[in-house]
Amino acid sequence: MSQASVRVLRKRELPAHGWIGLALMLVFWVLNWGLSGLRTHYLFFGLWLGFCLAVDGLTVWLRGSSMITRSWRRFLALFLLSAPVWWLFEFFNERLQNWHYLGTESFTAPIFRLWATLNFSTVIPAVFCAAELAAGFRWIQRLGRGPVLRPTLATTLAFFVAGWVMLALLLLWPRWFFPFVWISLYFILEPVNIWLGNRNLAQWTAQGDWRPVVSLWVGVLICGFFWELWNYYSYPKWIYTISYADWLRIFEMPLLGYGGYLPFSLELYAMTHLIAGLLGKKDLHFVAIEPVEKT
């Protein structure tokens, strides 16, 4: 057998951390749905840590490398970034009142914030792990060229102004413009990343390559499905109160609400790389969503 064949076989093996992740997912899923009373605050982090490890392991199996195999320190840094990023959305929700948590009355405010911060730390790692896995899907790799969106001064200024307008609208009239919370920050921050020389999605859309964007969309939809699935029989749990389009719920989420996950993934990408750039890590490579052809 040639060395190239051996490398391919090795790439097709699920690494140890992938098996550990699958075991964690199974154990914490059973416990979360099987136990009664308050329990999810103890189990949510372990469940989603298992998800991240399992999906990262599958990425190694599919693509030969992953976030953990490239740099486990960088992978852990995403957990530190994730919690403050999601707290920003919680801040917006104080105005929007789109989601609420059942069971919070059983906690003091500081204890709830402590558990919430731990659990919010899994959001970005989960989305990025799933997006990197999705980037290896054959159907995404085979996508053809799409519209060319170049980061010209006119385009970036239009994005930047539109983002601030959307943010103002959702804060002034949250009943009607609440969906803008999932897109306005991307429109604001993508131009900032371009102007500062940070990593940005326009690096690909300028060539008409939308596969990285699609990878983020598919990755976040995978996460969204499991967020809503595992939340359904959880306690504490979240529920949604939306002023319109509140129909055809899949678990607790109205069908159209899943569309909000798509731009949300772009916001996470923009915020993560803005923070990295501000810390002097402009070329930090968190997630490999650029298409890599299989060998």
pLDDT-derived band of residue 2, with 50, 70 and 90 as boundaries?
very low
Peptide bond into 15 cis (omega under 30): no
- C-alpha span between 143 and 217 (Å, rounded): 14
**Could you tell me the CA-to-CA distances from 275 to 50, 198, 270, 286 in Å, in that order?**
26, 9, 9, 12
- Residue 288 is assigned to a structural domain of this protein: no
Between residues 244 and 218, the one the model is more confident about = 218
Mean pLDDT across the stretch 286-293? 76
Residue 290 has a pLDDT of 81
Residue 88 has a pLDDT of 98
Residues 6 or more apart from 68 whose CB is under 8 A from it?
Answer: 17, 53, 56, 60, 75
Predicted TM-score (pTM) of the model is: 0.93
The mean predicted confidence, pLDDT, of the chain is 93
- Residue 22 is assigned to a structural domain of this protein: yes
Residue pLDDT, tens place only, 184-208 = 999 999 999 999 999 999 999 999 9
Residue range of the domain that includes 72: 3-278
User: Dihedral sign, CA of 26, 28, 31, 33?
Assistant: negative
By the 8 A CB rule, do 228 and 191 touch?
no
Residue 142 has a pLDDT of 94
- pLDDT tops 60 at residue 9: no
**pLDDT above 70 as % of the chain:** 95
Mean pLDDT across the stretch 16-43? 97
- Residue 196 is assigned to a structural domain of this protein: yes
Between residues 3 and 113, the one the model is more confident about = 113
Q: Between vectors from CA 77 to CA 132 and to CA 141, what angle results, nearest 5°?
A: 10
- Residue 46 is assigned to a structural domain of this protein: yes
Three-state DSSP at 150 gives: coil
Residues 6 or more apart from 98 whose CB is under 8 A from it?
Answer: 178, 181, 240, 241, 242
- Length of the chain in residues, anyone? 295
- C-alpha span between 114 and 95 (Å, rounded): 22
CB hemisphere CA count around 114 (13 angstroms) = 6
- Residue 197 is assigned to a structural domain of this protein: yes
Three-state DSSP at 240 gives: strand
Residue 292 has a pLDDT of 58
Helix, strand counts (H, E) of the chain: 14, 4
Three-state DSSP at 253 gives: strand
- Residue 285 is assigned to a structural domain of this protein: no
pLDDT-derived band of residue 10, with 50, 70 and 90 as boundaries?
low
By the 8 A CB rule, do 238 and 40 touch?
no
The structure tokens listed for 121 are 């730390």
- Name the residue type at position 123: V
Dihedral class, residue 145 (left if φ above 0, else alpha if ψ from -120 to 50, else beta): beta
Mean pLDDT across the stretch 254-282? 95
Residue 225 has a pLDDT of 98
Number of domains, the chain: 1
- C-alpha span between 190 and 202 (Å, rounded): 8
- C-alpha span between 124 and 87 (Å, rounded): 12
- Residue 290 is assigned to a structural domain of this protein: no
**Could you tell me the CA-to-CA distances from 98 to 25, 44, 131, 178, 243 in Å, in that order?**
28, 21, 26, 8, 8
DSSP for 128-178 reads HHHHHHHHT-HHHHT----------HHHHHHHHHHHHHHHHHHHH-HHHHG
- Residue 291 is assigned to a structural domain of this protein: no
Residue pLDDT, tens place only, 102-132 = 999 999 999 999 999 999 999 999 999 999 9
pLDDT-derived band of residue 291, with 50, 70 and 90 as boundaries?
low
By the 8 A CB rule, do 85 and 272 touch?
yes
**pLDDT above 90 as % of the chain:** 88
